[in-house]
Structure 1
Amino acid sequence: MSAILREQFSKYTDLTDGEFEYVLSHFTYRKLKKHQFLLQEDEWALNDYFLLSGCVKSYYTDVSGKMHILLFAVQDWWITDYEAYYDQKKAKVNIDCVEDTEVLCLTAENREKLCQELHQVEHFFRKKTNRRNVALQNRILSLLSSTAKERYEAFVREYPSLVQRLPKHILAAYLGVTRETLSRLYSSK
């Protein structure tokens, strides 16, 4: 399982076997079942989660009870409530498992320790943060300027395997459409 994390680090930086084992020793492992929460609103966001397997969704529920899905994470992706994680606050979002999921957990304290001790780890997290910022900007721009059909087609292009894995109501919530609209988009393909 640690090979997945090792592979991700190797995309951005070189770590010796010893350095990687040291980095890995700062993570803890968790196995969760479908519908179990990694993080709930108003809990302390103690960890950043690296997915070894499964699928999770991050979402916010507004005062009317409507779910707004911010993002998904699957194998080889990171997820948490980043404002809460970095600022040591309580979470605003929920993160729960769409499928049975395995994660490696990294506390903010251990992340900072690793970044101070190993320049390569700091470089890795800077690169990952840059990519996340670009992806979130593109998601916001898509929600503001694209039609439902364009958002759906882009999602299918970018994440073809997720389309089959996600329940239709969850995909609809992510795209900002009703389930009925999503069904029409499905049938028009």
Structure 2
Amino acid sequence: MSLICICADDVAPQPWRNGGGTTRELLCWPDAHRWSARVSVADITRDGPFSPYPGLARWFAVIEGAGVVLSFGRVPQWVEVDEAPFRFDGAAAPACQLIDGPTRDLNLMLREGQGLMCNVVGGVDWRARFSLRGLYTTGSGRWLSDGRERRLAAHTLIWSDSDASAVWRFEPDDPRTRAWWMGFTPETAP
């Protein structure tokens, strides 16, 4: 099992073409040119449209700030801090309106496979059966899996091509820490 740890603060932010924010690309799997899974953290500083990503499933979670309203035509979707990640079709390019100032957001994009992103319940085992798994945490804590453990700093992504039967657990140092599990099984090997 290979394990990758990436601290968001160590990744340089890339400005958006529309000037509405920046993205820190934490992971592209299997590589940056032909990825099937991408994890990023975005800082949204003003209202504007999302970019379309046809053929992808997207998950979006608010890490910091009040939240956003994503508009899919006439249908608004409120996404606020402390809520479950919102999943939508990457081909959609919703308009994004900030609720009360800038936000920092976690994004998972997946191509052709089975996947998910969900909130972590601290100290509770995660038994999802995916060939690729990740955890993003806003606070420090301890990641454990089948006898292995690692200390994680705040705003860190841990990603692994683990055994699908491996049990993961995250024990945050502060119970108010927000964290998310990510899982992906691609349709074909890279």
Which structure has the highest helix share of the two? 1
Q: Which has the higher strand share?
A: 2
Please report the TM-score for the alignment, with normalisation by the length of structure 1.
0.35
